[in-house]
């Protein structure tokens, strides 16, 4: 089998055991990119020579860290010192940052091999969409704004990649691409060097093809207690499945995924309880939008002044506050979020984990509409860690996942829970790529 089809954790083990070189792994990924990416269009930039040279260097030295020798893709609104960073914006086509973003630095100094930059919605916010197509059906979006990262990992072109989430930009593409994704607790990964949209929301996450892949990256970022929590027995777990207050926007495929996940867990002995969130949570979707748009005023002011007519109108709209967001509305949104954070965590005395949709259904048609973030926005604003797990397929045969959610800073426990739950929930994903 081609090494590109290995998960990151499998590849890491083989490299550690001397059964695989980083160079062979990187070359396999690059070959896959060459074969597939003219159609998928996940990458805005790939530096083959540099990736191979880095892999060779890593093959010669003792392990640098948990990501030693593993290929990594970087969403192109995250700065890289040795590659262009375009934010997929027409006004940043020639931008070459002088320094890696903090998260790229952590990956690199943990041994990752940066293959290149993946396509994104402009500034991970609005404006220009990624050209990326869903690897499972080129007529559909891979989701966004982490379009290229989701598609590249889904298409087995790279083992790991960074995405970001302000609304639903990370977990939704995980669902649409049939892959695993972790959006860690807000604040636990530095956003320095990533394009800023919203202080209160922006979160850097990563994609992999197994829970173990996500844990590898979590250990590189030294998330609290990662690797110290033992994996529970499924039969010992009480899982709270949650439709959320936004169930009116679910699609049949999303409903099917949640029902199937519950059914499989129940069959495996888990106790399933329905969680109905208290009334104040009804306002959390609007609150997320208020904060995102309200904070967007400041985030895009510099580019609005610098690039004027050349900047997409979407960003001028944010700077100009065309939604008319008042301070009162913004403050109410912050305060509601704070209340709901506490209320949400208090609920955990009654169960172990929350299971909830990762997307309304399968990926929409075309590449303009990257999907609805209604099943993600609330969790982003709650600052809680979310972990996307593949589950089933929709009417068009495209992947649809679910997500599990834990209290703030419980990322390590969420990963341990996922180790137990994922083998039960994720029954339909072919072990490697469909055509492998």
Positions touching a copy of itself (CB under 8 A) are 65, 95-100, 102-103, 105-106, 109-110, 186-192, 195-196, 199-200, 221-222, 224, 295, 297-299, 301-303, 305-306, 319, 327, 330-331, 334-335, 338-339, 341-342, 345, 407-410
The residues, ordered by sequence, that sit 6+ positions from 320 with a Cβ below 8 Å of its Cβ are none
DSSP letters for 240-284: EEE--TTGGG--HHHHHHHHHHHHHHHHTT-EEEEE---GGGGGH
Task: Assess contact for 197 and 166: CB atoms under 8 A.
Answer: yes
C-alpha to C-alpha distance for 190 and 33, rounded to whole angstroms = 29
Nearer to a copy of itself, 192 or 317 (CB): 192
- Helix axes 211-220 and 102-109, enclosed angle (nearest 10): 100
Q: In the sheet where 160-165 sits, what is the strand order?
A: 43-46, 113-118, 71-75, 160-165, 203-208, 180-183, 386-393, 399-405, 353-357, 238-242, 271-275
* Whether residue 89 lies in the annotated active site: no
250: left (phi over 0), alpha (psi -120 to 50) or beta: beta
The least distance separating a copy of itself from the CB of residue 302, rounded to whole angstroms, comes to 4
Residue 166, classed as helix, strand or coil, is: coil
Catalytic residue among 75, 117, 195, 256: 75
Complex with a copy of itself: residue 111 or 208, whichever CB lies closer:
111
> Is residue 210 annotated as part of the catalytic site, yes or no?
no
Task: Determine whether 145 is an active site residue.
Answer: yes
CA 95 to chain centre: 24
Point out the catalytic residue in the list 28, 89, 169, 359. Answer: 169
Q: Closer CB to a copy of itself, residue 14 or residue 341?
A: 341
- Which residue among 145, 146, 147, 215 is the active-site one? 145
The residue (of 331 and 427) whose beta carbon lies closer to a copy of itself is 331
Q: Which conformational region is residue 225 in: left (phi greater than 0), alpha (psi within -120 to 50 degrees), or beta?
A: left
- Work out how close the CB of 50 gets to a copy of itself at its nearest, in angstroms, rounded to a whole number: 18
Neighbours of 174 (CB within 10 A): 34
Cα dist. 76→73, 124, 399 in Å? 9, 9, 24
Of 209 and 383, CB closest to a copy of itself:
383
CA atoms within a 13 Å half-sphere pointing along the CA-CB vector of 287: 23
Triad 18, 9, 413: Cα angle to 5°:
140
Whichever of 103 and 262 has its CB closer to a copy of itself, that residue is 103
Shortest distance, position 334 Cβ to a copy of itself, whole Å: 8
Q: How far is the CB of 122 from a copy of itself (least distance, A)?
A: 15
Nearest distance, CB of residue 205 and a copy of itself, angstroms: 13
Which one, 119 or 411, has the nearer CB to a copy of itself?
Answer: 411
Residue 110 beta carbon to a copy of itself: minimum distance, rounded to whole angstroms: 7
Length reported for the chain: 436
| Per-residue burial over 419-435, b = 16 or more CB atoms within 10 Å of its CB, e = otherwise | bbbbebbbeebeeebee
Q: Are 342 and 330 in contact (CB under 8 A)?
A: no
Closer Cβ to a copy of itself, 27 or 170, answer by number: 170
* Residue 45 C-beta: closest distance to a copy of itself, Å: 16
Q: How far is the CB of 72 from a copy of itself (least distance, A)?
A: 14
Q: Catalytic residue numbers?
A: 75, 145, 169
């Amino acid at each position: 089998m081609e090494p590109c089809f290995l998960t990151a954790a499998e590849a890491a083990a083989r490299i550690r055991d001397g059964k695989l070189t980083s160079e062979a792994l990187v070359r396999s990924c690059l070959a896959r990119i060459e074969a597939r990416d003219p159609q998928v269009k996940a990458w805005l930039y790939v530096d083959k020579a540099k990736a191979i040279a880095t892999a060779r260097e890593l093959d010669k030295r003792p392990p640098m860290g948990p990501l030693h020798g593993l290929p990594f893709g970087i969403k192109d609104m995250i700065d890289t010192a040795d590659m262009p960073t375009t934010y997929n914006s027409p006004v940043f086509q020639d931008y070459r940052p002088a320094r890696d973003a903090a998260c790229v630095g952590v990956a690199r100094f943990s041994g990752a091999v940066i293959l290149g930059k993946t396509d994104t919605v402009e500034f991970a916010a609005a404006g220009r969409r990624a050209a990326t197509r869903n690897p499972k059906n080129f007529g559909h979006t891979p989701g966004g704004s982490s379009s290229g990262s989701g598609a590249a990992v889904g298409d087995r072109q790279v083992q790991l990649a960074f995405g970001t989430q302000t609304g639903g930009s990370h977990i939704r593409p995980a669902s649409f691409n049939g892959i695993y994704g972790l959006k860690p607790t807000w604040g636990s990964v530095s956003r320095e060097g990533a394009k800023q949209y919203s202080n209160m929301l922006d979160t850097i996450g990563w994609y992999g093809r197994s829970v173990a892949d996500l844990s590898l990256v979590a250990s590189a970022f030294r998330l609290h207690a990662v690797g110290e929590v033992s994996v529970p027995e499924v039969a010992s777990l009480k899982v709270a499945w949650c439709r959320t207050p936004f169930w009116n926007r679910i699609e049949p495929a999303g409903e099917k995924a949640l029902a199937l996940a519950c059914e499989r867990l129940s069959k495996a002995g888990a106790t399933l309880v329905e969680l109905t969130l208290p009334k104040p949570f009804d306002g959390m979707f609007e609150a997320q939008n208020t904060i995102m748009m309200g904070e967007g005023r400041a985030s895009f002011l510099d580019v609005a002044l610098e690039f004027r007519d050349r900047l997409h109108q979407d960003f001028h709209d944010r700077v100009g506050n065309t939604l008319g967001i008042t301070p009162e509305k913004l403050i109410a949104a912050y305060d509601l979020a704070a209340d709901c954070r506490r209320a949400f965590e208090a609920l955990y005395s009654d169960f172990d984990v929350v299971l909830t949709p990762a997307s309304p259904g399968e990926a929409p048609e075309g590449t303009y509409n990257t999907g609805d973030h209604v099943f993600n926005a609330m969790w982003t604003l709650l600052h809680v860690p979310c972990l996307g797990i593949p589950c089933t397929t929709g009417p068009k045969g495209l992947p649809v996942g679910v997500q599990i959610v834990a209290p703030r800073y419980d990322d390590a426990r969420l990963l341990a829970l996922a180790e137990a739950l994922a083998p039960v929930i994720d029954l339909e994903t072919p072990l490697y790529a469909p055509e492998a």
